[in-house]
Amino acid sequence: MSSKTPLLHESPSQTAGPYVHIGLTPIFSGVDGVYREDPGSVMVNDKTSGERICITGCVYDGEGAPVADAMIEIWQADATGLYPSPQETRGSADPNFIGWGRSAADPDSGEFRFDTIKPGALADADGNLAAPHITVWIVARGINIGLHTRLYFDDEDDANAGDALLAAVEPRERAASLLAQSQGDGNYRFDIYLQGARETVFLDI
Amino acid sequence: MSNDDERPGAWLPRERDWQPPALAPDYRSSVARSPRQPLLAFPTTPSEETGPVFGHTLIGPQDHDLLHNFARDGASAIGPRIVVYGQLRDQSGRAVPEALIEIWQANAGGRYRHYNETYIAPLDPNFGGCGRCITDANGYYEFHTIHPGAYPWPNGPNSWRPAHIHFSIFGQAFAQRLITQMYFEGDPLIPLCPIVNAIPHREGVESLIAKLDMEKTLPMDSLGYRFDIVLRGRRQTYFENRREGL
């Protein structure tokens, strides 16, 4: 057997297009009766551990207009920093937390919303601590390949100061684009800018 | 191949020169929606090396059957009946089992069931346009549906999308998350489409074109099309003295 088999290329991405809702949130789009509920619409239940938070935001295009057909997904650790995934090797996550959510932007305002819990800080295999964060993935008409970014919390100054990914952002002031703004009572605001002076830092990760 | 770079992390970096760029000016919607700053390259962490799991209990018995999952009892969708199937693998060629695949498409006349849709072609009362399934132990998936129609769209003065089915795929890690589109062998609209042409390599375009598969065709029922999908792969690891991956 050859010791070196050539790698395959990943399938090329194509835009999710303006009708992404039919496939990913069919009930939201008016296609009723096929699925029981839209996947990713409920992230927590009464038994989920952790501080309840609500994240709202909007994706803006280069002209400052809301991207009202955007579809946003998030993936995050539980309150102790563990992921509810078979690939999680560091321990067992909260069985009452799915960790994944999906929100279609409002067709008029472009607002998205997630009701979830605040994730814990994450220790990697080397013991380095990552600040609490949420993976954010954005698709829409006009986006050829899903945009990957992270949401950090602006009320976690100490943890954020030690976070390796935040430290890698250049120029430094762009790191602010990754901070959700606390609005009190567990509410956070996270706006995403596709272009322009406030362009969000997107990741190749 | 460019992805054997020195960046650490458990997953191979995406081949950005193989994927479509964010800005493809002939696809007009990409102009105002493309980031202009370079992406921040960073090795994968547990946040990308893990991913959600969707159990088989999520999936209803007709979820993969778009001919019937929106239709009245006893009815089925209008249009050329097809079976679309294939294997989900990673870049090392390993099958990806237990992965959620969601699809959506226009009806046989090229009309989507969506609040923003304005095309004059009529809705089919028995076609919703969404389906999903979870790959089997060998990474295979299968949908039963109708061949979607081509349709015009407001990109240029006379732009038409080739017939296509949208695919959304979860692998075993969020690093593998992918949305793409499947096209049909022999469609003359494929080379005219600016969304397709955002893909930099012809070999990449060809990998998104499903091939007619007479072996999968159901006689007197449905034509078969095969569409294989490749997700991002892990770095090579050593396992039981045998090299996996590379």
**In tens digits, what is the pLDDT along chain A, a chain of 205 residues?**
445 678 999 999 999 999 999 999 999 999 999 999 999 999 999 999 999 999 999 999 999 999 999 999 999 999 999 999 999 988 999 999 999 999 999 999 999 999 999 999 988 767 788 999 999 999 999 999 999 999 999 999 999 999 999 999 999 999 999 999 999 999 999 999 999 999 999 999 9
- Kindly report the CATH number assigned to the domain that includes residue B136: 2.60.130.10
Location of structure tokens 């272009």: A195
* Range 18-47 of B in CB contact (< 8 A) with A: 18-22, 24, 27, 29-37, 39-47
Whether A171 has its CB under 8 Å from any CB of chain B: the answer is no
CB atoms within 10 A of CB A78: 25
Catalytic option among B14, B81, B113, B166: B166
Whether B218 has its CB under 8 Å from any CB of chain A: the answer is no
Catalytic option among B89, B111, B132, B161: B161
Active site residue B164: yes
Nearest CB among B36, B58, B92 relative to A195 is that of B36
Q: Indicate yes or no: CB of B45 within 8 angstroms of CB of A150.
A: no
Contact criterion met (CB below 8 Å) for A113 and A55: yes
CB atoms within 10 A of CB B189: 16
CB atoms within 10 A of CB B80: 12
**Which residue range(s) make up the domain with A76?**
20-193
* pLDDT for position B14: 97
The candidate with the shortest Cα–Cα distance to B122, out of B105, B103, B108, is B108
A129: CB partners within 8 A, 6+ apart: A121, A122, A123, A159, A162, A163
Q: Tokens representing A159?
A: 């943890």
* Range 108-147 of B in CB contact (< 8 A) with A: 112-117, 128-132
Q: What global pTM score does this model have?
A: 0.95
Sign (positive or negative) of CA dihedral B201, B207, B209, B214: positive
3-class SS at A2? coil
Chain A residue numbers with beta carbons less than 8 Å from the beta carbon of B245 are 7
The reply to whether A114 falls in a domain is yes
Nearest CB among A83, A84, A142 relative to B29 is that of A142
- How do strand A111-117 and strand A100-104 relate by DSSP bridges? unpaired
Whether B189 has its CB under 8 Å from any CB of chain A: the answer is no
The reply to whether B72 falls in a domain is no
**Which residue range(s) make up the domain with B158?**
79-233
Active site residue B161: yes
Chain A residue numbers with beta carbons less than 8 Å from the beta carbon of B22 are 143-145, 147
- Kindly report the CATH number assigned to the domain that includes residue A24: 2.60.130.10
Residues B153-179, mean pLDDT to the nearest whole number: 97
Write out the H or E segment, with its range, that includes residue B140. Answer: strand B140-146
The reply to whether A9 falls in a domain is no
The reply to whether B61 falls in a domain is no
The reply to whether A204 falls in a domain is no
Number of domains in chain B: 1
Phi and psi torsions of B205, nearest 5°? -60, -45
The tally of CA atoms less than 13 A away on the side-chain side of residue B113 is: 26
The reply to whether B66 falls in a domain is no
Distance CA(B48)–CA(A116), nearest Å, equals: 19
The reply to whether B209 falls in a domain is yes
Length of chain A: 205
* pLDDT for position B246: 40
Q: Is the ipTM of this complex over 0.90?
A: yes
Chain B residue numbers with beta carbons less than 8 Å from the beta carbon of A18 are 114, 116
The reply to whether A13 falls in a domain is no
- B85 burial class (0-12, 13-18, 19+ CB within 10 angstroms)? buried
Number of domains in chain A: 1
